[in-house]
Structure 1
Amino acid sequence: MGEDRTSTQVVVVGAGPVGLMLAGELRLAGADVVVLEKLTTPTTESRASTLHARTMEILDSRGLLEPLGAVPNERGGHFGGIPLDLTLPGRHPGQWKVLQTRLEELLGRWAQDLGADVRRGHELTGLTVTGDHAEAEVRLPDGTTAFFRALCIVGCDGEDSTVRNLGGFDFPGADATRDMLRADVAGIDIPNRRFERLEGGLAIAARRPDGVTRVMVHEFGALPRTAQPGFADVAETWKRVTGEDIGAGTPLWVNSFGDASRQAARYRDHRLFLAGDAAHQQMPIGGQALNLGLQDAVNLGWKLAAQVQRRGPDGLLDSYHSERHAVGQRVLSNIRAQALLLLGPAEVEPVRQVLAELAAGSENVRAHLAGMISGLDIRHDVGPGRHPLLGRRLPHADITTAGPAAGSTATGSTAALLRGGRGVLLLLPGDEARREALRTLAAPWSDLVRTVTATSVSEDLAAPGTGALLVRPDGHVVWADTGDTELTTALNRWFGQPSRAAGAPAAHRAPAPARAPVAPTAQIPARIPAQTPVQTPAPAKKKRRTDMSRLTGKTALVTGSSRGMGRATALRLAQEGALVAVHYTANREAAEEVVALIEKDGGRAFTVRAELGVPGDVHELFLGLESGLRERTGTTDLDILVNNAGVMGGVKPEDTTPETFDRLFAVNAKAPFFLVQRALRNMPDGGRIINITSGLTRCANPDEIAYAMTKGAVDQLALHFAKYLGPRNITINSVAPGITRNDNPVFGIPEAVEQMAQLSAFNRVGEPEDVADVVAFLATDEARWITGSFVDATGGTLLG
């Protein structure tokens, strides 16, 4: 294995648009990169030809639009073949027609000009991952073998990704049930067709300026082909569907694509990463697939460069998975809907008609669909704060900035601020004393974050009450000067420890002690879960960790969390970084107090109200939950469900009425079942469900027979759902508290507390935080191997 070995910081496998975009981003951020491509020459096939508004903004932010030249622009697009105006506020509305071959040529030249090492005719045949490096075994054009050693390897090698297969990534989803034939054909003269649904199938024809016609056809009821079609297959199907004969044409290339829908369970596994079609497989409807992959690359590039250069903050690379997996999941969902509308049988026509009416008659519906397709509505969870731009991309606007010479100014666009691939602290017109204070705070990060002083901005960027914005290299706003959080907190979270002390000249950097040189393994440990915990000493009693790392990017719903164990659990999950929905039934003030405590500690939360145990309870709860999640994350994904809400019985068997019995079961057992059922529509693979049951299911108390029955039912819920949810890597467990301090007056009686404490092996009653810590553990990736379990959290009460 010593014949030929090349060392670099990152190996990218695949020299398509996504791999080349990633290579350029890595080089722009200063990382060394080698790109391995098995094809000896660039492909002449242009499978994709559409760029959407967000991708055009990204290319603009890298100075790539001018060399791209003039390209056709269409304001009108479609959703499942239904015409849709894609115009939204921004500089590049609609869709832009750029052949994939042209895009690859542009990105290849850009990446190589920046210093990327592109090796063609290099086919990946093996992968080895160790504690301090990853190694690619490669077959060279002459048939010999070479080895490329790197800190990380990224698969950008398409839907049949070798990196994904060799790396053992789970790739759940559905196989194709329909397909569409596609060909570029010269020498034919047929009418243009735009998503024409005929009696026998769907037909699309578009004649290009060079005289070549792209045809696509689907025959209703036809099963997917097991092999790539020939042109005769395309011509015969076209004739059956349209009645037109294109058999005399000259095919330039032919292929087919199906409606398979798959997504990698993780975009990162230790030192291996996936991006583009290697991470997600979808039908290329509406040109979203290419755009999705390019945006994966731009999200990952600067983060991976920071990590391999040993300056990335803890958890930064985990945000690649949490952010882009959520976006990918949403795109795949809308593509599945579009495939049904396009290729479904006659039964979908009423749905198409209703959607067409909504899109034409409601600006909100049109804008929602246009934002989803264009990528302009993406909003990442970037931390606490309520500013409307937080997590969204920086609007592309006109801006005048102060120049280096006194009194000088420069006029341009916000896109130009990102050309260097650094972060930007944009100081908006306002109080100069405040701007100077922010300049001073950001000065230690000047190598990574450029501070720009605006003297005027266009209305696109005007935001009343906003004095400054911190923008990541990928263009997403991660902090706004509204008093929610300190600038240094955001700088540390996204850019790591400063490279020099405040006030030190850039030419004489003084590394902070925490930034002393370390081995590569200190930044990328030998084996880590998808959400990487920051290691801290064990906390003292009642002092909770606030590293905000193990659940960063996750969302959680805790029912009954305005008080008691639910309140403690909501606080605990938020301290670990989760965005928490604090559920309450009637005490709104108590719930809002929990949210205020979370936000004061730097976390994120919102309230949601619903009475459980009554008709329509789950529906009402999820209306509020999805609204709150969508507003803050741009999706309705729910990663963690804690079924905590419950009512006690406290009624002797002889006094238990049917009404009391039904109420106990409705709240304690029926509601959790249907909450789980409903949550699974929102829960990504790998989610967590934790049910709070009771130690009374294992010991007797005659005054709580009916109550214990309800909790026993919840124990069974976890046991049987665990088997059902295993294929999705969703865990479900029961946590059984014992006597735990709450607002019951009995806990104010010292003698009673002393008597209750004797039941525990620790000679004390439980605190809500004792249970919350157990729940928090089960919500993390560290508990991925525990499911269907009864977790005794009684403090040893059940030991006898």
Structure 2
Amino acid sequence: MSVTLDTDVVVVGAGPVGLLLAGDLCARGVRTVVVEQLAEPMTESRASTLHARTMEVFAERGILDRLGELPDGGPGHFGGIRLDLTAAVPGHPYAGQWKCAQTRIEAVLQERAVELGARIRRGRRLAGLDDRGDHMRVETVTAEGGKEWLTGAFVAGCDGWQSTVRRLTGFDFVGQDATREMLRADVAGIDIPNRRFERLRDGLATAYRWPDGSTRVMVHVFGATPRTRTGAPGFDEIVAAWAQVTGERIGHGEPLWLNAFDNTRRQASQYRRGRILLAGDAAHVQLPVGGQALNLGLQDAAELGERLAAHLVGQGEVETLDAYHAQRHPLGARTLTNIQAQAFLLLGGHEVDALRETFAELMRFDGVRTRLARAISGLDAPRTRAAPLATVSTSTTTAGDRRARMDRLANKTALVTGSSRGIGRATALRMAGQGALVAVHYASDENAAGETVRLIEQDGGRAFAVQAELGRPGDVHELFLGLERGLKERTGEAVLDILVNNAGEQTAAGVAPEDITPEHFDRLFAVNAKAPFFIVQRALALLPDGGRIINISSGLTRFANPEQTAYAMTKGAIEQISLHFARHLAPRRITVNSVAPGITNNGSPVFDIPEVVEQMAQLSAFKRVGEAVDVADVVMFLATDEARWITGAFVDASGGTLLG
């Protein structure tokens, strides 16, 4: 018996990647058929960790509501070295990692795809692909020998690391074969301690008790090389390895699932060849460490769905599909490189102990932690803006604040002065992340301002840089010429919804009041007080009713430090600007507030000296130095509609330094 089906896209593979892609395509009106060799979904859960970018993808599609409350997955790691993934973007609603069994993810994604119109053909093995020029002809075979042909405009290979699509089409799959292997199993009826990447004399061991009482064990014997396998390892092999490494016996348990994975590293040289595209493990294979393989594949699918649907519904030329490769291939390569480094740190024997100690020391620095956490979380990837996805029956509002779309400042514009670094940069990032178009002001460091813009744009936000050196004649005029030009180019009008006066100049440490020169005094007031006053004055013509003005003051207006007398005077002026303009602008519902940080890490060299940082930390009630994002979150709140009833306020954002 043979059947022929006509569709727009044939997705090969009904794992998480293929099912997410099918649902996304159908949500945009693209007819989609999914072909899967397995007659029934898998019952074992190979992966269970979701990262921040994937959580965003799921939230945008209403998938998180279907999954229900997900437990916090605890701190992440880099090569087995603890790495708190909340460092990726502090305050991000999905910062960290979240646990959800792959079986649950697949069930929800399949339900969604079917509801949106996808047809899923299980129990069918891909047998042939024929490019007919203007369409693809796909041949599948059932276990009983029945044949089925499908015709479609495109084929998406989402069929895993042994991809038949990739093999039949002849994609180059370049890289390196395995040199290390890890064994894993889910075992019932055993009682052993939980372990997390515990490095012992003879190897590495991990154990985790699942909610059903079974235990996931993973073990690697140092120096052991991968075996040639045609299937899963035997339970006896895992029992022996576990005993060698830990000294514990688990052979009396009942094996529920057996598996081996290794550090094979391969990537397709192209993600698109004509009418065939690859996503997930069909496009790249890597050590599945920390859930990165699953998340990388799901993010491939999200990007491919947007590109492919745009092309098929007439919103993008064929180059749109080439852009999929151009974006995802380098991200995949970068991820494979960081996984290769992790594999070396994780599975290397005692010869890597010194390197692990050095790496752990480096990871104490905020910049290193943030960079690695963003990479693992998928938050260092550029975003494609696409038409909204259709959603089906999102039924729950549990944890609504955390799962809300990040668009609290959608269609708003903001100017953040001094946003090339520190609090200004963190504020610009937060506002752009909430949907605002941000003007990034800088005085002289064009590269630093460009980096702020780049960070915003790679997260899918919008920003542009504006240069003006404050404190000299014509400074405010120069600033607003650039601001108005940038706004008109991007929005068609010069409307400014939010103004953040952050730029400032501080007295150097160790300068006594009697040593302040008139020239330095005048300079401080010109930058810190005069410029903000006239920036507010100039902005009034651009601010609509209901606008927001936030001025950055300092805890030094409430805390004596003689070496900063002149600086504190300028910040006292800032607070007076806020107080009086708040009364003046109240009839227009424009709020004006001042925020006073305490000691805050602005990236200067002094914050790299642990002893100094520890001394500064003692001044805070929380016994730590503030981070730029701690203050940025306060500023962000004052910029939203939720803060409409706050004006003329002095907001202490010093971490309790002013409590005495």
TM-score range, shorter chain: 0.5 to 0.7
Query: Does 2:460 correspond to 1:476?
Result: yes
CA apart distance, 1:308: 2.2
Query: Does 2:411 correspond to 1:427?
Result: yes
CA apart distance, 1:337: 0.3
Query: Does 2:157 correspond to 1:183?
Result: no
* Structure-2 separation of matches of 1:84 and 1:260: 24
C-alpha distance 44-4 of structure 1, shift in aligned 2 (>3 A): same
* Structure-1 separation of matches of 2:142 and 2:50: 34
Match of 1:15 in 2: 14
CA apart distance, 1:49: 0.7
Match of 1:366 in 2: 369
Query: Does 2:379 correspond to 1:376?
Result: yes
Query: Does 2:427 correspond to 1:465?
Result: no
CA apart distance, 1:478: 6.7
C-alpha distance 200-412 of structure 1, shift in aligned 2 (>3 A): closer
User: Out of 222, 246, 271, which is 1:267 matched to?
Assistant: 271
User: Out of 182, 202, 205, which is 2:204 matched to?
Assistant: 202
Q: How does 1:593-604 map to 2 (within 5 A)?
A: none
Supply the AA of the counterpart residue of 2:411. Answer: L
User: What does the per-residue CA deviation read over 1:57-114, in whole Å, with 9 as the maximum and x for residues that have no partner?
Assistant: 1111111112211221034111000011111331011111111000001111111111
Query: Does 2:312 correspond to 1:308?
Result: yes
CA apart distance, 1:488: 9.9
Match of 1:103 in 2: 105
Verify the 8 A CA contact 2:79 2:345 in the aligned structure 1.
yes
Query: Does 2:322 correspond to 1:318?
Result: yes
* Structure-2 separation of matches of 1:19 and 1:82: 32
Query: Does 2:233 correspond to 1:234?
Result: no
* Structure-1 separation of matches of 2:222 and 2:139: 44
Verify the 8 A CA contact 1:176 1:260 in the aligned structure 2.
yes
Q: How does 1:623-662 map to 2 (within 5 A)?
A: none
* Structure-2 separation of matches of 1:479 and 1:313: 26
* Structure-1 separation of matches of 2:402 and 2:175: 41
Match of 1:63 in 2: 62
* Structure-2 separation of matches of 1:459 and 1:156: 31
* Structure-2 separation of matches of 1:180 and 1:299: 31
* Structure-2 separation of matches of 1:300 and 1:285: 24
C-alpha distance 285-364 of structure 1, shift in aligned 2 (>3 A): same
Verify the 8 A CA contact 1:75 1:93 in the aligned structure 2.
no
Larger RCO: 1 or 2 (CA < 8 Å, sep 6+): 2
Query: Does 2:343 correspond to 1:332?
Result: no
Verify the 8 A CA contact 2:93 2:403 in the aligned structure 1.
no
CA apart distance, 1:169: 0.3
* Structure-2 separation of matches of 1:300 and 1:479: 25
CA apart distance, 1:466: 8.0
CA apart distance, 1:324: 0.4
Supply the AA of the counterpart residue of 2:290. Answer: G
* Structure-2 separation of matches of 1:138 and 1:373: 37
SS state of the match for residue 4, structure 1? strand
CA apart distance, 1:146: 1.1
Supply the AA of the counterpart residue of 1:96. Answer: W
SS state of the match for residue 363, structure 2? helix
CA apart distance, 1:476: 3.0
* Structure-1 separation of matches of 2:434 and 2:461: 15
C-alpha distance 31-458 of structure 1, shift in aligned 2 (>3 A): closer
TM-score (norm 2): 0.61
User: What does the per-residue CA deviation read over 1:413-446, in whole Å, with 9 as the maximum and x for residues that have no partner?
Assistant: 896489xxxxx99421579xxxxxxxxxxxxxxx
C-alpha distance 84-271 of structure 1, shift in aligned 2 (>3 A): same
SS state of the match for residue 191, structure 1? coil
Q: How does 1:115-154 map to 2 (within 5 A)?
A: 115-154=117-156
C-alpha distance 429-6 of structure 1, shift in aligned 2 (>3 A): same
CA apart distance, 1:45: 1.1
Supply the AA of the counterpart residue of 1:368. Answer: R
* Structure-1 separation of matches of 2:124 and 2:61: 28
Verify the 8 A CA contact 1:479 1:487 in the aligned structure 2.
no
SS state of the match for residue 372, structure 1? helix
* Structure-2 separation of matches of 1:6 and 1:181: 42
CA apart distance, 1:483: 2.8
* Structure-1 separation of matches of 2:327 and 2:340: 21
* Structure-1 separation of matches of 2:223 and 2:186: 24
Verify the 8 A CA contact 1:259 1:282 in the aligned structure 2.
yes
CA apart distance, 1:245: 0.5
C-alpha distance 464-163 of structure 1, shift in aligned 2 (>3 A): closer
* Structure-1 separation of matches of 2:237 and 2:194: 20
Supply the AA of the counterpart residue of 1:376. Answer: L
* Structure-1 separation of matches of 2:213 and 2:112: 30
Supply the AA of the counterpart residue of 1:476. Answer: G
SS state of the match for residue 465, structure 1? strand
Q: How does 1:294-693 map to 2 (within 5 A)?
A: 294-360=298-364, 362-379=365-382, 416=405, 426-428=410-412, 464-465=438-439, 476-477=460-461, 483=486
Verify the 8 A CA contact 1:275 1:296 in the aligned structure 2.
yes
Supply the AA of the counterpart residue of 2:251. Answer: G
Match of 2:37 in 1: 38
* Structure-1 separation of matches of 2:292 and 2:207: 19
Verify the 8 A CA contact 1:155 1:161 in the aligned structure 2.
yes
* Structure-2 separation of matches of 1:374 and 1:152: 30
Match of 1:255 in 2: 259
Q: How does 1:70-81 map to 2 (within 5 A)?
A: 70-81=69-80
Query: Does 2:221 correspond to 1:219?
Result: yes
Unaligned stretches of 5+ residues in structure 2: 389-399, 416-429, 442-452, 465-482, 493-660
User: What does the per-residue CA deviation read over 1:501-538, in whole Å, with 9 as the maximum and x for residues that have no partner?
Assistant: xxxxxxxxxxxxxxxxxxxxxxxxxxxxxxxxxxxxxx
SS state of the match for residue 339, structure 1? helix
SS state of the match for residue 350, structure 1? helix
C-alpha distance 173-379 of structure 1, shift in aligned 2 (>3 A): same
User: What does the per-residue CA deviation read over 1:693-712, in whole Å, with 9 as the maximum and x for residues that have no partner?
Assistant: xxxxxxxxxxxxxxxxxxxx
User: What does the per-residue CA deviation read over 1:255-280, in whole Å, with 9 as the maximum and x for residues that have no partner?
Assistant: 10110000000000000000000000
C-alpha distance 94-202 of structure 1, shift in aligned 2 (>3 A): same
CA apart distance, 1:486: 5.2
SS state of the match for residue 123, structure 1? strand
SS state of the match for residue 240, structure 1? helix
Superposition RMSD in Å: 3.2
Match of 1:27 in 2: 26
CA apart distance, 1:354: 0.8
Verify the 8 A CA contact 2:432 2:438 in the aligned structure 1.
no
Unaligned stretches of 5+ residues in structure 1: 383-390, 395-410, 419-423, 432-455, 490-800
C-alpha distance 425-306 of structure 1, shift in aligned 2 (>3 A): farther
Supply the AA of the counterpart residue of 2:283. Answer: A
- Count of aligned residue pairs for this structure pair: 428
CA apart distance, 1:141: 4.1
Match of 1:171 in 2: 173
Runs of 4+ in 1 over 2 A off after TM superposition: 308-311, 411-418, 456-467, 474-489
* Structure-1 separation of matches of 2:359 and 2:227: 31
Supply the AA of the counterpart residue of 1:263. Answer: Q
Verify the 8 A CA contact 1:428 1:466 in the aligned structure 2.
no
* Structure-2 separation of matches of 1:214 and 1:358: 31
SS state of the match for residue 365, structure 1? helix
TM-score (norm 1): 0.50
* Structure-2 separation of matches of 1:485 and 1:38: 54
Supply the AA of the counterpart residue of 1:55. Answer: T
Q: How does 1:691-770 map to 2 (within 5 A)?
A: none
* Structure-2 separation of matches of 1:75 and 1:461: 29
CA apart distance, 1:310: 3.3
Verify the 8 A CA contact 1:198 1:242 in the aligned structure 2.
yes
